[in-house]
Structure 1
């Protein structure tokens, strides 16, 4: 069983969910921490959903945990939603000591924390993302945060009559899905189907915590993005472009309109959601051209000795 200091793993109920939502609101949490989203993910990936909390009666510190168990009896605790959601971990920018984690004989941990940019008391790796501070004036963001090349591409898109359509309904996903599905097949994301994204977006459209932007020219859909978030962070969650189309700045214009919409909704940050300079240098350059304000997030993994042994023997076979 997972142990961390005196914390407890608890299943969700109405009281726990209310406390978690209050914690998210008051401690700079993300939609990726929310019980509603994690329930959808749990159903999709057949996980046991918990929150690791300090005090069940009055929660001050908490992390979402998805527990999985394979056919060999190996159990793993994932401190983020499974699938293509990039991070979660503990809510709030507190310092956590991962050396205090303990697991059972046949268990392991996979932790990907939120990009609060804090140090950790453990030997962990760090991932990166970039964000736009939405408290800044819109003109300042355009003229000082966006790289000059990205500004020029936005102007090019407008000059070339690229039109951005905004959707707070499943119609937006229906328009984007043919392009996104092609990308998913290339990446091997066959299990991330239309129904999964429909479930997520339908849960948040009416709350204005999710929207879809579609870039079109002369009636043809060129590309689109899905943005998901809350008052603390709006995340650039998904994006895809039609194969073979000319780059006329539609990608930059989509990001600019997403920033403007997130700001209009009153969110604090716009998160470009994950950077990988080594594996995806082109995307890294594009995203850091939107904002070069880098935030780090911790990545920690631990497995018991028996977990490693059994896992290795399985791979040898």
Structure 2
């Protein structure tokens, strides 16, 4: 377990668990796309994470991108995803020649062009290189108008996974200047492209193409079976906003894959009911008495507390709730 930037990060059996604070001393635990392929592993993880949840006062554990499975002892509910549900996956059992042949001609051309421009790639597991990576990521985020985490978030990922040789930064250089950088994990049987940034002024060098190709080669050398190119938008919402990144990743010839469902493993049903109800009300600036009564009745349906008990619990937090900015920005914030 590590603590930094106000968040605790746990690592249980190749599963990353991030604690997110909630009001009233509560929290939630979140795992972005862990490798869970069967019910036995899910139940083993849930048992271990339940102990963490008790210690951290976590209401539930959110899991992104797993197949539909059953769980014992806890409530498993479908939930909204925090990751995009589609990705392109490359089969690394193919030879390098086969992989190149399956790419779009423009992608192969850009890989060759980057080589001709003398782009070089360096791999690093040193968190001191995160500021370099973050500068490129931040420039890209501002250019594309997307939100990113604070720098410490990426330091956490690299430092935790690198201890097991399961993550690295790939940095592309032109004349000793970094022009592109990716954060990649290598665990289980797959490499996964998590985040990346590029310098716009050197976009004609096509460094991101060579960086992805050398990531594929690195994953093959490690004996991994798959390379996950990360989120794309082929179906559903955000197709227009994600058109550029989707087109870039599609060029490498992977198979479009649905990444599975998102679930909440509930440890405290009463608080979970309160959480879900407040999420639905998060855009209001004031909760009227009718809404408080509806909230009490909603939680009371679980029959874990009496209506009077729930009313006392809510009233004890009433002044804190109305006196904060929690309601204005969403009762339980954003992850």
Q: TM-score, normalised by structure 1?
A: 0.63
> Counterpart of 2:260 in 1: which secondary structure?
strand
Match of 2:115 among 151, 158, 180: 158
Match of 1:266 in 2: 223
Unaligned 5+ residue runs, structure 2? Answer: 43-57, 71-76, 286-335
Match of 2:207 among 250, 253, 269: 250
Distance in 1 of aligned mates of 2:155 and 2:209: 25
* CA 1:313–1:157: 2 relative to 1, 3 Å: closer
Distance in 2 of aligned mates of 1:207 and 1:304: 34
Match of 1:136 in 2: 94
Offset from partner CA, 1:200-255 (integer Å, 9 cap, x none): 32444465422222223333332121222225111112210112333332221111
Q: Say if 1:129 and 1:272, in contact at 8 Å, map to a contact too.
A: yes
* 1:74 Cα offset (Å): 6.3
Offset from partner CA, 1:33-66 (integer Å, 9 cap, x none): xxxxxx34x6545358597xxxxxxxxx997665
> Counterpart of 2:251 in 1: which secondary structure?
helix
Offset from partner CA, 1:250-300 (integer Å, 9 cap, x none): 221111011011111222211112222314111111112113312222124
**Aligned-residue CA RMSD (Å):** 3.9
Distance in 2 of aligned mates of 1:107 and 1:92: 21
Distance in 1 of aligned mates of 2:80 and 2:155: 33
Q: Say if 1:166 and 1:213, in contact at 8 Å, map to a contact too.
A: yes
Select the structure that is richer in helix: 2
* CA 1:204–1:275: 2 relative to 1, 3 Å: same
Distance in 2 of aligned mates of 1:65 and 1:198: 15
Distance in 2 of aligned mates of 1:176 and 1:47: 22
Distance in 1 of aligned mates of 2:219 and 2:183: 12
* 1:119 Cα offset (Å): 5.2
Match of 2:7 in 1: 46
> Counterpart of 1:227 in 2: which secondary structure?
strand
Match of 2:146 in 1: 187
* CA 1:130–1:316: 2 relative to 1, 3 Å: same
Question: Does 2:247 correspond to 1:289?
Answer: no
Offset from partner CA, 1:143-174 (integer Å, 9 cap, x none): 12x22221111122223x23222123426435
Q: Say if 2:140 and 2:199, in contact at 8 Å, map to a contact too.
A: no
Match of 2:296 in 1: none
Q: Say if 2:111 and 2:206, in contact at 8 Å, map to a contact too.
A: yes
Larger of the two Rg values belongs to structure: 2
Number of residue pairs the alignment of both structures matches: 251
* CA 1:200–1:73: 2 relative to 1, 3 Å: closer
* CA 1:108–1:137: 2 relative to 1, 3 Å: same
Match of 1:111 in 2: 63
Distance in 2 of aligned mates of 1:93 and 1:307: 28
* CA 1:112–1:204: 2 relative to 1, 3 Å: closer
Q: Say if 1:210 and 1:227, in contact at 8 Å, map to a contact too.
A: yes
